[in-house]
């Protein structure tokens, strides 16, 4: 019958058979040097290890789902509140209250056609702003807010204070305070700017002198023309 396998004839060739249909997955052949083991039983030593599995049967690192980190561990310990920050808040509130008190009691209400607002509103506004800043700062501190500590990347915290530079800067400001009424702002300001540059280590004397004179003249005319404040002219009275 056609389609059926028959015995081979004696002395003849083996007749072809139809290909067998594979009904199950083929077993994994044992390769040389690789030992297969039964799946681990929970509770026994070595359960859950994949070291005995072949490399092809081990789960890839990308297929392993990442573990969910505990946010309490990642965020670290809670930030500690610094009681000194409340002292800053109290200082800002005290300054704001003193500014408002001084504006309402000591400053009179001088209203003119040139200044219809008077001198009181500006200090009162500044005092109110200081109180608002103090309140916002206090709330932030109470909620655990704190400023970032100085990393000191560009500053060597072990370096001692350069008292020479500090004293030179103080001397420059004192010279300006003593000479501003006698010599005028242009000359005293020139000495202030030039002396500050010298104290900070700049040794370009001529260039610093020219820059100091230019800054003194610019600030003199900006105050006189732009703000209406006449700085002392001193010995240059009538020339400037």
Tell me the torsion sign for CA atoms 176, 178, 179, 181. Answer: positive
pLDDT by residue (tens digit) across 163-206? Answer: 999 999 999 999 999 999 999 999 999 999 999 999 999 999 99
Q: Do 161 and 149 touch, CB atoms closer than 8 A?
A: no
Give the pLDDT score at 145: 75
Residue at 226 is within a domain: yes
- Average pLDDT of the residues in 4-31: 56
Distance CA 197, CA 211 (A): 10
**Residue among 71, 77, 95, 89 at smallest CA distance from 140:** 89
Average pLDDT taken over every residue of the chain:
75
Average pLDDT on 136-141 reads 90
Domain that residue 118 falls in: 83-142
181 and 137 together in one domain: no
Backbone angles phi, psi at 236, to 5 degrees: -95, 15
171 is a domain residue? yes
- The total number of structural domains in the chain stands at 2
């Amino acid at each position: 019958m056609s389609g059926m396998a028959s015995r081979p004839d004696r002395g003849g060739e083996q007749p072809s058979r139809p290909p067998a249909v594979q009904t199950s997955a083929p077993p994994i052949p044992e390769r040389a040097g690789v030992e297969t083991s039964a799946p681990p039983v929970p509770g026994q030593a070595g359960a859950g290890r994949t070291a005995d599995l072949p490399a092809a049967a081990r789960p890839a690192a990308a297929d392993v789902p990442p573990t969910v980190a505990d946010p309490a561990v990642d965020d670290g310990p809670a930030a500690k509140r610094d009681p000194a920050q409340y002292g800053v808040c109290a200082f800002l509130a005290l300054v704001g209250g003193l500014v408002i008190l001084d504006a309402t009691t000591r400053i009179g209400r001088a209203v003119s056609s040139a200044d219809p607002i008077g001198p009181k509103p500006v200090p009162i506004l500044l005092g109110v702003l200081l109180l608002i800043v103090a309140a916002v700062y206090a709330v932030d501190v109470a909620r655990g807010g704190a400023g970032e500590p100085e990393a000191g990347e560009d500053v060597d915290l072990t370096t001692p204070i350069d008292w020479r530079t500090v004293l030179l800067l103080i001397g420059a400001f004192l010279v300006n305070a003593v000479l501003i009424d006698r010599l005028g702002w242009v000359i005293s300001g020139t000495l202030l700017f030039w002396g500050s540059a010298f104290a900070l280590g700049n040794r370009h004397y001529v260039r610093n002198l020219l820059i100091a004179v230019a800054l003194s003249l610019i600030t003199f005319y900006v105050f006189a023309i732009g703000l209406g404040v006449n700085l002392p002219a001193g010995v240059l009275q009538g020339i400037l």
